[in-house]
Structure 1
């Protein structure tokens, strides 16, 4: 996967093991230019992460896409690897995998 999109925000890393990823250590766009690895994210109009990409040496190594229910809970997640294979996970209203 190649790098060609615009992003709303950038982060150094994430914390935790649950989805959606909890991105931490915000970066300015200018701080990504000399960094080998960082996370680039897009937000929806409510400020929730709808897409996050792990960027390594200018290439997309991993991508997560998220969909939310009207009340804000995570409904699904798609994980795309560097070979563009997609794994879709569904979640119930309690946040458990369906």
Structure 2
């Protein structure tokens, strides 16, 4: 199973997101610290989940990091996170359309 598949499985199971984007940005870090030869060390995630309602940005990120603790202890070196509620995501989409 690839790192992206492992991430998808754990996030979907733990947060039941309405939207999940997993972007592998490892190629941008080739030759830098933390880069892994597998090419799966740096990811950007967009997670839209009702479970984030009422949580601070820090607590949302902690929830994602907790789900991916095993991967972070393995070859996953870095995560860039965008964690939104469905309402925040809808507002963001409306704003970008204007």
TM range (shorter): under 0.3
**Higher helix share goes to which structure?**
2
Asked which structure has the greater RCO (Cα within 8 Å, sep 6+), the reply is 2
TM-score, with length taken from structure 2? 0.27
